[in-house]
Amino acid sequence: MRLRFAALAVAAGVLLSACGSGPSAAEDPDAPLRIGVSPTPHGEILEYVDDNLAEQAGVDIEIEKFNDYIRPNQALQHGELDANYFQHQAYLDEYEKEHGGEFAWVQSVHLEPLALYSKKFNSAQEIPDGATVTISNDPSNRFRALKLLEQGGLIKLKPEAGVGARPAEAIAENAKNLQITDLSADQLPRSIEDAAAAVVNGNYAVKANLSDPLVVEKTEGNPYANGLVTTPQLAEDPRVRELAELLRSPRVQDYIEQKWGGEAVLPAA
């Protein structure tokens, strides 16, 4: 396994030079697959595959870790990755609308149920009038968070509301006059210290060791499974297809269930 860590760029215009040395998989059929991941749980799952399954299957993997939700797609767009594994289909669709690029969804792998966390209150009903609740600022996860708040009985959404709608546009009833503030997903766990509650993306909740959620997203029929994404040129590449099979294999499903106890991270249906 070749493991690299691509830190979050702190200044605009920083080149993605940390990624993708050597020929790409599209250029060289013998090159390793360079896969961009979020460290947790995606990186852990892919490392399990690399350590236990990939060599026997003839798949060479190079893992590059990212702390944000933008750069893994940028790196894939620019040919510095061959695939990534960090996002769900709705997020990818919104990214393509906003930033362009050509991507190919390969395979769903796991689901991280979104959840509402608080360090001040023990139930959603205890959250007081006028309290601040933080949610993700990317359009797909923002709407997903609003649906979770509706599931918890805190707001009601307009029937016509959809992905991309901001809280003011999407909410029909806000009986508690909650102040819903959106932040980048990586800031949400820290925001719990000041806000009444926060809707936290699963990978960041796991990383921050958050527990005892007030409301957990329903898993049945959930369309937000995270999966493997590549380019149209590599969508049918045997290495990519084999990796997809490994990620959905019974051994990986067992690993996910044992590692995360069937709660924070679940195998995709």
pLDDT tens for each residue of 242-266: 999 999 999 999 999 999 988 889 9
Consecutive H or E run containing 102: none
* Count of structural domains, the chain: 2
Domain identity same for 207 and 238: no
Instruction: Verify that 143 and 76 share a domain, yes or no.
Output: no
pLDDT at 219 (0 to 100): 87
Residues 6, 52 within the same domain: yes
Looking at residues 118-127, what average pLDDT do you find?
Answer: 97
Distances (CA, A) of 117 to 145, 167, 171, 201, 246: 12, 19, 21, 11, 33
- Output the pLDDT for position 28: 86
pLDDT at 107 over 90: yes
Averaged pLDDT of the chain = 91
Band (2; pLDDT cuts 50, 70, 90): very low
Q: Alpha-carbon distance 268 to 47, whole Å? A: 18
The CATH number covering residue 209 comes to 3.40.190.10
Cβ atoms 79, 34 nearer than 8 A? no
Whether 9 has a pLDDT exceeding 70, the answer reads no
User: Do 154 and 238 belong to one domain?
Assistant: no
Q: Say yes or no to pLDDT of 49 above 60.
A: yes
199 shares a domain with 97: no
What percent of the chain shows pLDDT beyond 70?
Answer: 92
Question: In the prediction, which pLDDT does 12 show?
Answer: 33
- How does residue 126 score in pLDDT terms, banded at 50, 70 and 90? very high
- Domain end position, chosen among 216, 235, 251: 216
Co-location of 134 and 41 in the same domain? no
- Residue 212 sits in which domain range? 115-216
> What 3-state DSSP class applies to 206?
helix
In this predicted structure, the answer to whether residue 174 has a pLDDT above a threshold of 80 is yes
